[in-house]
Structure 1
Amino acid sequence: ARKCQISITSCLLLPCGVHLLGNDNSIVAASSFGAHIYRPVLRPLDVLPLIGTYNVTNPRGELCVKATLGAQYIVIIKKKSWFFNLDPLKVHVSGSCHRESAVLSLTLPDHAASLQFTFKKENNLFYVTKLTASLSPLPVCLGCANETYLGLVSPGKLFAASYGRSFRCKSTNVLQTSSEMSIKLVFLQMQAFGVPGGHYGEVDECLADYNQRIIPIILWAVAVGLLMIGVLTFLLLKENRTRGYERL
């Protein structure tokens, strides 16, 4: 992306002697001392995030967590929604793998943003027990305070799938992590505690995808059923009228 230089006329947002180099999604603050600080930029427009695939391996080099998703941070500031999309090319992936627990962490430079999934294995099932998020963006206006937004979702069993299979949800998931921040996940697919050959297993789809797939089939079946009832009713009425004419 084309870089642009933004001049700073006030020292309210960043220390004096700092200039900014950035693109559409992020800003790198560069000081005269050579320090560079990555800062996300909140935008007023909701744009679909890029999709990335992230892997965690165990100490033996075996893939134990694989996740494909697009992530967007939604921040409420003075009753207005602001958006920041996680850029897969800038994400640092880390995590850990154990027999019954695993962690996938996605972090931007300088910890400007993070997203962490905690997985648990229980019997023949795996699921996400906790999702934590943080975002430290540039202020949206001159004079606005620097804020770090923190959030947590701990629903119990989120994105559950059978062991050896993958969870997939093409529908959009919006998870409220705090009163000020939500996380939107799109085109989500994940598998934990073993990904043989590095490929996703058979799919356990989310309820929203199931409903989108099955409801049109149900409506079509109902329409066909009503049509058949109408045709049979017409034929029966026609037959009764014919018999009435014969008696006359």
Structure 2
Amino acid sequence: NALKKCKRLTAGHSIFSQWCFAATVLQQGFATVAPPTPAPHKEPGRPERGHYNATKNGTICLMAYMGLQLNISYNSISQKKVVQDVVNIQPGLTNSSGSCDSDNASLELTTNKTNLTFVFTLVSLSYLFFLSFSNSSLDYLRGTLGYSYFCREEQTLNVTRNLSINTFQLQVQPFGVSGDKFGAAEECQLDEDDMLIPIIVGAALAGLVLIVLFAYLIGRKRSHAGYQSI
């Protein structure tokens, strides 16, 4: 399972041991009776970024700062078809709690409709309804002990074909938290790839400028050579 896999991947690193999480379960359902006049579906837009913490003995032991969005497909009884829905987690309506120990840490996000529990190295999410989605083999977001994981770009974590999770400007540190600030950030691959683009473009432009300058100097030298006396 994902927990054993993560422990195997991170074993033997001592103080630099790694952590990771994997999404495993999300449960969802909807009311069987539709409203008389259903409102037109409207995309919720980009989710607000929220601060979420877990504490141990009054001290912060897990920190997360992120925007979360759930993409869900389900069979609607009232509409008699497969419906796709997008749900934003709203920080102002969400309570956070959790726990920490030497092997794992958990973060629970609760609203009047959702109950999401992230467990590092294992993640489980529950959404208070009837349908369930699970995948125990996923492996996402790995970081080093004492460091935070940061991803500026939007990430999509695919759990099953009926469920995916979008994260926005995610920064999380489930272990080695000191005080109320994140440790040095390890950036995700998406951010590193995004940084390569301006570097490559800048290098190409610099190379083009050098070529033009070199051609100009050669042309000027040849022009001066044509006026030399014999």
What TM-score, normalized by structure 1, do the two folds share? 0.66
Question: C-alpha distance in 2, partners of 1:228/1:116?
Answer: 55
Question: C-alpha distance in 2, partners of 1:94/1:185?
Answer: 19
* Number of residues of Structure 1 aligned to a counterpart in Structure 2: 191
CA deviation map 1:115-147 (0-9, x unaligned):
33222xxxxxxxxx433333356xxxxxxxxx5
Question: C-alpha distance in 2, partners of 1:207/1:179?
Answer: 23
Higher relative contact order structure (alpha carbons within 8 Å, sequence separation ≥ 6)? 2
What is the CA distance between 1:62 and its match in structure 2?
2.2
* Native 8 Å contact 2:71 2:164 kept in 1: yes
What is the CA distance between 1:87 and its match in structure 2?
1.8
Q: 1:134 to 1:88 in 2, by over 3 A?
A: same
What is the CA distance between 1:44 and its match in structure 2?
3.6
User: Identity across aligned pairs (percent)?
Assistant: 29
Alignment match, 1:90: 93
CA deviation map 1:147-180 (0-9, x unaligned):
5343447433x32233222111111011111111
Alignment match, 1:194: 176
What is the CA distance between 1:79 and its match in structure 2?
6.5
What is the CA distance between 1:48 and its match in structure 2?
0.9
Please list every run of 5 or more consecutive structure 1 residues that lacks an aligned counterpart in the other structure. 1-10, 20-40, 120-128, 138-146
Alignment match, 2:116: 115
Q: 1:195 to 1:113 in 2, by over 3 A?
A: same
Alignment match, 2:66: 69
SS at match of 1:130: coil
Q: Summarize the alignment of residues 165-244 of structure 1 with structure 2, pairs less than 5 Å apart.
A: 165-244=147-226
Question: C-alpha distance in 1, partners of 2:184/2:32?
Answer: 53
* Native 8 Å contact 1:133 1:177 kept in 2: no
* Native 8 Å contact 2:52 2:63 kept in 1: yes
SS at match of 1:83: strand
What TM-score, normalized by structure 2, do the two folds share? 0.70
Question: C-alpha distance in 1, partners of 2:58/2:91?
Answer: 22
Of 50, 53, 66, the match for 1:52? 50
Question: C-alpha distance in 2, partners of 1:153/1:45?
Answer: 29
What is the CA distance between 1:80 and its match in structure 2?
5.8
What is the CA distance between 1:12 and its match in structure 2?
5.2
Question: C-alpha distance in 1, partners of 2:172/2:189?
Answer: 15
What is the CA distance between 1:46 and its match in structure 2?
4.3
SS at match of 1:237: helix
